[in-house]
A and B are shown apart, each in its own frame.
Chain A
């Protein structure tokens, strides 16, 4: 990883650390959204336990979507995004660095917080480990795909609701395989196959997203 990318990584991590309070927002959202379901449906632990994995995953997904909006926004607003596109290293590297920072401050904490939500929603014992594993594998995918959507909509005045519409379809395979992995775990079966699919999808997006994201950014900036 060359020097300018390292510098960018350090800068973004420092900015994130300085705004520590903001890092809590996706986590609080995650907690609140998950809590809505027992209130809206039933707190009966037997029923709640059946939908727990799905609720938690949808909550993580929505929390990630909310935080993606800011992926490129502040750099776009003060003009530094354009400067970054002129960096000697390929723009793909810059996108990867931003995705890494985003995952470190949102996806990873979400994955670590999930067991707590599992307890609150009555997730059966066998589900906890696959839940955390699928989140650890899945949230990077969400961040990578999200970068494409964020790149396409950065600078759009009415971009807010648009970006989720763009990437939600891409998220569906992640949701399907993650949820069924957890269900497998709850039933006592192996979920390795599901994890393997997620791993493969992660590898695919790891290659495609930076390219697509860079292209999206160039299109947005040129506008």
Chain B
């Protein structure tokens, strides 16, 4: 059992293995993601009943909640990947961390925009400094910092380590930030209905939400796999297996010892 774990650990660190496995799994995640998302969206838009208080604008929830959840999970994934890379020195872990950042940031932006637009019919203004939106904004700042550090440092190894440290520090601070923002919000008497609070939702409204959440997570996996494969291709461009994959060397020639690696 221990040797199986060791095998898995070594496999995970291998770019070639990750490339091949992710190619195999991507279609499953892609088709499930699209199916779940499409079903959830159609159900939520056309079939779910309108909310008693908010009317039809509540349908934005089917985009807002999945993207908000995803942006938060993605940050934790990035931090954990950074930790694994630093402690276990697994290069693949750094690659995953680097790749997750822009995707997570795009989800944070989506959550912020949909949150703001949802606020207009609900509260009358395009932006409210409520606790959740403000926390999401700060999360976006954290993401932008990690992406800025990757951009600024030329040396790959140094960039990986610096970004990993930043991501880990950020993740530790997230609870502190959330608490402070929530406390700040109570000082200023916010509106009594929080935008994204889910008072017991009717099942017909809740199930499509679950579908879109899982759908988004599946698509997230597809996106991470695709970007990671790109990074692998570039970093391993000098190896034979990459050259074979890109049809740069003839795979039909007689196999020499070197080619067989």
Contact = CB atoms under 8 A, between A and B. Distances in A.
Q: Do chains A and B touch in the complex (CB under 8 A)?
A: yes
Interface of A: 19, 21-22, 24-25, 28, 31-32, 35, 38-39, 42-45, 119-120, 122
26 contacts: A21-B148, A21-B151, A22-B152, A24-B144, A24-B148, A25-B148, A28-B144, A28-B148, A31-B141, A32-B141, A35-B137, A35-B141, A39-B129, A39-B134, A39-B181, A42-B188, A43-B128, A43-B129, A43-B188, A44-B188, A45-B125, A119-B116, A119-B127, A120-B127, A122-B125, A122-B127
Contacts of A45: 125, 128
B126 interface: yes
Interface in B158-209: 181, 184-185, 188
A173 to B, nearest CB: 31
Contacts of A32: 141
Question: Top 3 closest A-B pairs, CB basis?
Answer: A21-B151, A43-B129, A120-B127
B147 interface: yes
Contacts of A24: 144, 148
A38 B129 contact: yes
A69 to B, nearest CB: 14
A25 B144 CA distance: 9
Nearest to B124: A45
Contact of A39 (B116, B147, B150, B184): B184
Nearest to B144: A28
A222 B151 CA distance: 34
Contact of A119 (B126, B185, B188): B126
A8 B137 CA distance: 39
Contacts of B148: 21, 24-25, 28
B151 A22 contact: yes
Nearest to B181: A39
Contacts of A38: 129
Contacts of A44: 188
A19 to B, nearest CB: 8
Contacts of A25: 148
Nearest to B130: A43
A196 to B, nearest CB: 32
Contacts of B144: 24, 28
Nearest to A117: B127
B218 to A, nearest CB: 29
Q: Which of B125, B127, B152, B185 has the most CB of A within 10 A?
A: B127
Given A32-B141, A119-B126, 20 more contacts: A19-B151, A21-B150, A24-B144, A24-B148, A25-B148, A28-B148, A31-B141, A35-B137, A35-B141, A38-B129, A39-B129, A39-B181, A39-B184, A43-B185, A43-B188, A44-B188, A45-B125, A45-B128, A119-B116, A122-B125
Contacts of A122: 125, 127
Nearest to A45: B125
B118 to A, nearest CB: 14
A42 B185 CA distance: 9
A21 B152 CA distance: 8
A19 B148 CA distance: 11
Contacts of A42: 188
Interface string B109-133: 0000000100000000111110000
Contacts of B137: 35
Nearest to A19: B151
Contacts of A119: 116, 126-127
A6 to B, nearest CB: 29
Nearest to A119: B126
A25 B127 CA distance: 23
A113 to B, nearest CB: 14
A98 to B, nearest CB: 21
A214 to B, nearest CB: 30
Nearest to B137: A35
Nearest to A28: B144
A22 B144 CA distance: 11
Interface in B15-71: none
A22 B137 CA distance: 20
Contacts of B185: 43
Contacts of B188: 42-44
Contacts of B147: 21
